[in-house]
Amino acid sequence: MMQFRRADERGHANHGWLDSHHTFSFADYYDPAHMGWSALRVINDDVVSPDGGFPTHAHREMEIISYVLDGALEHKDSLGTGSVIVPGDVQLMSAGTGIAHSEFNHSATEQVHFLQIWVHPKQSGLTPAYQQRHYPDTAKRGRLHLLVSPDGRDDSLLVHQDLYLYAALIEGKEKITWTLEDGRKGYLHVARGEVTLNGHVMRAGDGVKLQGALPLVLDAGLAAEILLFDLPG
């Protein structure tokens, strides 16, 4: 099964300092047909104006992944973590029993564009934790590179869920093949550019739900950057 969700079908909220598109129901955007997919609950495509950002707020019982596409995102949290996240960086914050954090555009002149992804953890009551790692473009060029996994294999970030998150950059004649295992679900999100999935053209902001034993072919990329989620059934 492949169920496409085009960029212009997503929820949208423009707060001036924040322009956000919601793949799944979030805040004032509610659609019972799009409440998440497997353990994947949120993909927010956020553009934050210079010096704008999210003041300190709290989270519980959620695994939160931030993936920066352009600009720089400044993070501070109640664990004492302070960092600046730039393209190539992946941040994973396990909210667990409770964590408070803020996120601001680090620049006074440039926008920051990032994806905020929420995942339901496999168990509750976890100790809050923070991870961040850089994955260079060379690791993602023309192939799926593992960013997040339940066991931290291959220098990936550890998530408390049976979930694997891959990223890839695809251009020109580069081709990626991958098969979703029977009994699993998947989600493919095009973060930027354009790519063809099994003959279907997908552009920035497009996504597709995947289910069943499904061979995938990604090719004909035009500056494409994609995220692929391998999820529990």
Give the pLDDT band (50/70/90) at residue 24: very high
Amino acid at 226: I
72 vs 70: CA distance, rounded Å:
7
- Domain residues for the domain of 55 are 2-231
Q: What is the pLDDT of residue 199?
A: 97
What's the pLDDT tens digit per position in 42-69?
Answer: 999 999 999 899 999 999 999 999 999 9
- Which domain CATH number covers 186? 2.60.120.10
Please say if the pLDDT value at position 185 is more than 90. yes
Q: DSSP letter at 37?
A: B
Residue with tokens 């289910």, as numbered in its chain:
211
161 vs 212: CA distance, rounded Å:
20
Q: Where are the alpha helices (DSSP H) in the chain?
A: 137-140
Q: C-alpha dihedral over 209, 233, 135, 145, to 10 degrees?
A: -80
What's the pLDDT tens digit per position in 186-218?
Answer: 999 999 999 999 999 999 999 999 999 989 999
Measured in residues, the chain has a length of: 233
Amino acid at 45: D
What domain count does the chain have? 1
Please say if the pLDDT value at position 86 is more than 90. yes
Q: What is the pLDDT of residue 127?
A: 98
Hey, what are 190's tokens? 């095009």
Give the pLDDT band (50/70/90) at residue 10: very high
- Overall average pLDDT of the 105-116 stretch: 97
